[in-house]
Chain A
Amino acid sequence: MDSILKVFQRPDFLAQLVVHIELSVIALLIGITVAMPVALLVYRSRLWSAVAINTGNIGRAVPSLAILALVFPLLGFGFAPSLVALTLLAIPPILINASTGLRQVNPQIIDAARGMGLSNGQVLGHIQLPIAAPVIFAGIRTSAVQVVASATLATFIGGGGLGELIVLGFQRNELAIQLGGSLAVAILAIITEVGFGLLERAFTPKGLLVTSNHRSK
């Protein structure tokens, strides 16, 4: 146990933790910046949103190691190629959830809003986005957890991150480093999962949480 705690005091632990977080945060931010406008462009059209959602689904089926590995012969070794791969991984869950979330908003609610004189932008900003927010955030959460997990694999193409420590532990057969690195990654992933869960709840409008206690059957 002590030896594992010592791992957390290593200078390269902190450095790799920072790289891991950098990789994840940047990939997620770019992922959001790409996926959201695409979702906003396609959700009105049945055909295009089906295209986006199906592409997203296939994208989700591609193994994360496969994406990282394929980026390597194309772009080479290092931080930037890893970032590209992680960004590609970040996009599909957000794209899928944002498109479906926006489409799921009850058309009668939209009709009522338009009928009262809300402009298209206002309908989107005041009605559709808030109602779709929980679904969109669930997508961002899935994406974030996946990116944090996959960033562990960046080490295989020289991207750094906490995976570096796990691999180091394996190579040198040092159990403490291997365990310390793994625990750190696991904790980081769980923090991401729980943190984004809280964020998701914070962005869910209260009116969507209340149960219809009044609606007797």
Chain B
Amino acid sequence: MSSLVASLALQNLGPKVLDWNWISRNFSHEIIPAIIGHIYLSFVSVTIALVISLPTGIIVSRYRKAYPPVTFITGLLFSIPSLAFFALLVTVPGVGLGPRAVIIALVAYSLLVLIRNVVAGMDSVPEETKDAARGMGLTSRQILFKVELPLALPVIVAGIRIATVTIIGIATIGAYISGGGLGELIFTGISRNFPTRIIVGAVLATLLAVLADLSLLAIERYLRPWARTRRT
């Protein structure tokens, strides 16, 4: 869709809109670093969020009473508009402008989806399966690592997918508080009224999100061989 928009832009505003010269001149020292910065921001955030969410989700799936307050708090965090969240965070002492504030916000945004999917994944393990494992003499630790987590993995990966796509999108806004990444191109493009930067930033951010979506979807399918049997 965005490529359609881009080509429309080309027709409407003439050849000057997409300045290919600028793109080739700045490819290696501006565009590539922006892509890498964007991937770095997103990857670090999802990883940290996963480290928090996995144990939290497992605990919450056992102590059900803790689940509603956890989803309530993470739900509130999730619904705060990102620009507001960033603006609030940079005023916190010790955080300030820069990637740190962006990463904190991105982690906060991922928690709801990740925890919810960890719990859903744990719930999806049939009671009979756990019972059979117990009956065969597995310890509860072994049941967790050999039965529950492998069976819950596809649902957890589905959560990682949604969180990653969301985060890649929000990370663009992080550039406003000097977080770097592809948003940098968009914002400078807007302030300098230079459409090429906007288009390159927006299109690449979109591509990155769609690519992450599709590849994580492929992983999700790969991890769920029992759902694929129909095809063969």
Task: Say whether A and B bind each other.
Answer: yes
Residues from chain B with Cβ under 8 Å of A182 in the complex: 83-85, 87-88
Q: Which residue of B lies closest to A197 (CB)?
A: B75
Q: Do B201 and A69 touch across chains, with their CB atoms under 8 A apart?
A: yes
- Residues of the A chain whose Cβ atoms lie less than 8 Å from the Cβ of B5: 70-71, 74
| Structural contact, B190 and A66, CB atoms closer than 8 A | no
Residues of A within 8 A of B158 (CB): none
Residues on the A chain within 8 Å of B32, using CB: none
Do A63 and B76 have beta carbons less than 8 Å apart? no
List A contacts of B88 (CB < 8 A): 179, 182-183, 186
Contact across chains for B195 and A66 when beta carbons are under 8 A apart? no
A50 CB within 8 Å of chain B: no
Is residue A169 contacting chain B, with contact meaning CB distance below 8 A? yes
Q: Is the CB of A73 within 8 A of B17?
A: yes
Contact between B79 and A169, CB atoms less than 8 A apart: no
Give the distance to chain A from B155, nearest Cβ to Cβ, in Å.
17
Residue numbers in A under 8 Å from B190 (CB-CB): 69, 72, 156-157
> Are the CB atoms of B1 and A66 closer together than 8 Å?
no
Q: Mark B71-86, 1 if CB is under 8 A from A, else 0.
A: 0000110011111110
Interface residues of A in 49-90 (CB under 8 A from B): 55, 57-67, 69-74
Is A153 on the interface with B (CB-CB < 8 A)? yes
Count residues on chain B whose CB falls below 8 Å from chain A CBs.
Answer: 45
Q: Which of B45-53, B137-145, B204-212, B222-230 contacts A (4 or more CB under 8 A)?
A: B204-212
Question: What is the 8 Å Cβ interface bit string for chain B, positions 166-203, against chain A (1 contact, 0 not)?
Answer: 00111011001000000100110110000100110111
A61 to chain B: which residues have CB within 8 Å? Answer: 165, 169, 206, 209-210, 212-213
Main secondary structure of the interface of A (DSSP, over half): helix
Closest residue of chain A to B13, judged by CB? A73
B169 touches A64 (CB 8 A): yes
Supposing A61-B213, A62-B169, A163-B83 touch, asked if A69 and B202 sit within 8 A by C-beta, the answer is yes
A69, B173: Cβ atoms under 8 Å? no
**A181 interface contact, C-beta 8 A:** yes
- In Å, the complex CA distance between A190 and B198 comes to 30
- Please, which residue of chain B has its CB at the minimum distance from the CB of A75? B12
Q: In the complex, are the beta carbons of A66 and B85 less than 8 A apart? A: no
Cβ-neighbour of A73 out of B76, B169, B199 (below 8 A): B199
Q: Does B8 contact A (CB under 8 A)?
A: yes
Q: Is B147 interfacial (CB-CB < 8 Å)?
A: no
Using a CB–CB distance below 8 Å, which chain B residues touch chain A?
A: 1-2, 5-6, 8-9, 12-13, 17, 75-76, 79-85, 87-88, 91, 165, 168-170, 172-173, 176, 183, 186-187, 189-190, 195, 198-199, 201-203, 205-206, 209-210, 212-213
